[in-house]
Amino acid sequence: MATSTYELRCRECGKAWPSQPRNYCEDCFSPLEVTYDYDSLRKTVSHELFASRAPNIWRYRELLPLPAGYQPSLPVGYTPLVSAPRLGEKIGSRRLCIKNDAVCLPTLSFKDRVVAVALANARSFGFDTVACSSTGNLANSVAAQAAREGFKAWIFIPSDLEPAKILGTQVFGAELVRINGSYDHVNRLCSQIADEHRWGFVNVNLRPYYSEGSKTVGYEIAEQLGWRLPDNIVVPMAGGSLISKIKKAFDELVLLGLVDPKPVKFFGAQASGCSPISTAVKQYSTEIEPQRPKTIARSLAIGNPADGPYAIKAITKSGGWSEDVSDTEVVESIQLLAKSEGIFTETAGGVTVGVARKLIHQDRILPDETTVLCITGNGLKTTDVLSDAYQAETPIAPKLVEFEAYLASKVGEFGRVAGETPALPLATKSTVLAAEA
Ligand SMILES: *Cc1c(COP(=O)(O)O)cnc(C)c1O
Ligand SMILES: [Zn+2]
Q: Is residue 100 part of a domain?
A: yes
Give residue 40's identity as a one-letter amino acid code.
S
Pocket flag, ligand 1, residue 322 (CB < 6 Å): no
Alpha-carbon gap, residue 117 to 76, rounded angstroms = 10
- Angle (nearest 5°) at CA 99 between 95 and 103: 145
b/e per residue 258-292 (b: at least 16 CB within 10 A): bbeeeebbbbbbbbbbbbbbbbbbeeeeeebeebe
Cβ count near 196 (within 10 Å): 7
Q: Is residue 395 part of a domain?
A: no
222 and 125 fall within a common domain: no
Q: Which atom of ligand 1 is nearest to the CA of 114?
A: 7
Distance 296 CA to ligand 2 centre (A): 37
Nearest Cα to 107, choosing from 64, 133, 58, 146? 146
Pocket flag, ligand 1, residue 240 (CB < 6 Å): yes
pLDDT for 426 equals 39
pLDDT for 436 equals 44
Segments forming the whole domain that contains residue 253: 81-107+214-386
Pocket flag, ligand 1, residue 4 (CB < 6 Å): no
355 and 423 fall within a common domain: no
Q: Is residue 30 part of a domain?
A: yes
249 and 350 fall within a common domain: yes
267 and 204 fall within a common domain: no
96 and 117 fall within a common domain: no
Q: Is residue 263 part of a domain?
A: yes
- As a whole number of Å, the end-to-end CA separation of the chain is 32
Q: Which atom of ligand 1 is nearest to the CA of 245?
A: 7
Give residue 25's identity as a one-letter amino acid code.
C
Ligand 1 pocket test: which of 242, 288, 310, 382 has the largest number of ligand atoms within 8 Å of its C-beta?
Answer: 242
Q: Is residue 366 part of a domain?
A: yes
Pocket flag, ligand 1, residue 271 (CB < 6 Å): no
Convert the pLDDT of each residue in 393-436 to its tens digit.
Answer: 889 999 999 999 999 988 864 555 555 554 444 343 344 444 44
Distance 57 CA to ligand 1 centre (A): 18
Judge if pTM exceeds 0.85: yes
190 and 234 fall within a common domain: no
Torsion angle of the four alpha carbons 164, 170, 176, 182, in this order, in degrees rounded to the nearest 10: -10
Ligand 1 pocket test: which of 109, 184, 217, 295 has the largest number of ligand atoms within 8 Å of its C-beta?
Answer: 109
Q: Is 75 exposed, middle or buried (0-12, 13-18, 19+ CB in 10 A)?
A: middle
60 and 203 fall within a common domain: yes
Q: What ligand has the least distance to the C-alpha of 14?
A: 2
Nearest Cα to 122, choosing from 86, 92, 149? 149
Alpha-carbon gap, residue 344 to 12, rounded angstroms = 40
Question: CATH number for the domain including 280?
Answer: 3.40.50.1100
Distance 16 CA to ligand 2 centre (A): 9
Q: Which atom of ligand 1 is nearest to the CA of 241?
A: 7
| DSSP structure class, residue 413 | T
* 148, 73 Cβ separation under 8 angstroms: yes
Helix axes 111-124, 137-149, angle to 10 degrees: 40
Q: Is residue 253 part of a domain?
A: yes
Alpha-carbon gap, residue 197 to 189, rounded angstroms = 12
Helix, strand and coil content of the chain, in percent to the nearest 5, comes to 40, 15, 40
pLDDT for 392 equals 84
Q: Is residue 288 part of a domain?
A: yes
Q: Which atom of ligand 1 is nearest to the CA of 239?
A: 8
| Residues pairing with 130 in the sheet | 153, 200
260 and 338 fall within a common domain: yes
pLDDT for 3 equals 59
Where is the domain boundary, 184, 211, 238? Answer: 211
Q: Which atom of ligand 1 is nearest to the CA of 137?
A: 15
293 and 372 fall within a common domain: yes
The residue ranges of the chain whose pLDDT is under 50 are 413, 422-437
- Angle (nearest 5°) at CA 435 between 89 and 351: 40
Pocket flag, ligand 1, residue 241 (CB < 6 Å): yes
352 and 380 fall within a common domain: yes
pLDDT for 391 equals 86
Where is the domain boundary, 211, 236, 260? Answer: 211
Distance 302 CA to ligand 1 centre (A): 10
- Name the residue at shortest CA distance from atom 14 of ligand 1: 299
The residues near 399 (Cβ < 8 Å, ≥ 6 apart) are none
pLDDT for 410 equals 86
Pocket flag, ligand 1, residue 352 (CB < 6 Å): no
Domain count, the chain: 3
User: Which strands, in side-by-side order, build the sheet including 16-17?
Assistant: 16-17, 6-10, 32-36
338 and 289 fall within a common domain: yes
Where is the domain boundary, 211, 226, 243? Answer: 211
Residue 315, phi then psi, degrees to nearest 5 = -70, -55
Residue 165, phi then psi, degrees to nearest 5 = -75, -30
Nearest Cα to 229, choosing from 219, 215, 241, 242? 219
Q: Is residue 351 part of a domain?
A: yes
Alpha carbon separation from 206 to 29, 144, 369 (Å, rounded):
15, 18, 37
Q: Which atom of ligand 1 is nearest to the CA of 236?
A: 10
327 and 298 fall within a common domain: yes
- Pairing of the two strands 200-201 and 232-236: unpaired
